[in-house]
Amino acid sequence: MGWVLVALLLLPAGVLTADGNFGMLQPGHLSAIVGGSIEIPFSFFHPWELAQDPEVKVFWRWKSFHREFIYNMTPPFIHKHFKDRLVLNFTKNGNSGSLSILNLRKEDETMYFCRVHLKTKKKGEQQWQSIKGTQLTITEAIKTTTQMKTTTERSTSVASEVTSAGFTVSESQPLSLGAIVGVAVATAMLITGVLVLVAFLRWRRKGQTTTAQAPGGEVSQNTEEKYENIAYERQQTEPQQSPKNDSTVYAVLTLSNSSSPRMPAGPPLHGNTQEEMTLYSVLKTK
């Protein structure tokens, strides 16, 4: 009860009645965040002896001293605005407690006044209410630690990707949307240029290989046809030995191309790849 007496001395004069020995104590100001909860503590004091059944009742108003009630202890009542959001913590026949407001909304920001009714032995039923009440301030919810951590991780990830692409970005500086788009476009252009260069080199190599093979095949084919024609002409112009003329001697001289490999001695073969020239000389004996 000592703290009650100290609080009594600090109360403004308007809180006390003419007797100057009873009143209601509430904090002047409280604050909370949207979606959270708040407890508004209260306590009351008086000089009277309570009745055998004091029937203590607690009520709460909001907005102003004479505005509507939002909570009745008896009979039970809760304002529709606070449906399922008000909880009164109070011990029967006690003189202190608190009102809890759950799932706070921005519209809950206003003044709250506690009122008490009770029965005494000599003075009968007494009731009084806080004059100044409690001002409740509701603020918007701040970012949670998890959200801040996620944002930091995303910024670090973007910075690492940009650095790997050949750019340098300080981790302490957040990237704007324009910077991220620019980096992505530059990276895509770099990859596209590399792919085009590789495709061009493959095409050029393939073209050189085709050009080198085509002339070789033509030369080989033309040479083969030339050699076949020479062999055919040699067969047509080669003189036939006459068995009747025993006094005639034939001499054959074969000339080969110096650039062609030498062939072993022997009769000429048809289809030989060696280019030859044959001279015939006729010698007659007397």
Instruction: List pLDDT tens digits, range 200-250.
Output: 888 888 776 655 554 544 444 555 555 555 555 555 555 554 444 455 555
Reduced to 3 states (helix: H, G, I; strand: E, B; else coil), residue 179 is helix
* C-alpha span between 136 and 110 (Å, rounded): 5
Query: Residue 192 corresponds to which amino acid?
Result: T
pLDDT at 32 over 90: yes
Phi, psi of 218 (to 5 degrees): -65, -40
Distances (CA, A) of 49 to 3, 54, 264: 20, 9, 149
Q: How far apart are CA 143 and CA 254, in angstroms?
A: 106
Where residue 179 falls among pLDDT bands split at 50, 70, 90?
confident
Most confident of 16-25, 32-41, 196-205: 32-41
Average pLDDT over residues 255-271: 49
Instruction: Please give the structure tokens belonging to residue 272.
Output: 């030989």
The mean pLDDT of 5-31, rounded to a whole number, is: 63
pLDDT reading at 18 higher than 90? no
- Identify the CA nearest to 94 among candidates 30, 154, 160, 50: 50
Work out the pLDDT band at 43, boundaries 50, 70, 90: very high
| Percent over 70 (pLDDT), the chain | 54
3-state DSSP percent of the chain in helix, strand and coil, to 5: 35, 30, 40
- Is 100's pLDDT higher than 50? yes
pLDDT at 8 over 80: no
Please tell me which residue, 191 or 234, carries the higher pLDDT value.
191
Note the pTM of the prediction, 2 decimals.
Answer: 0.47
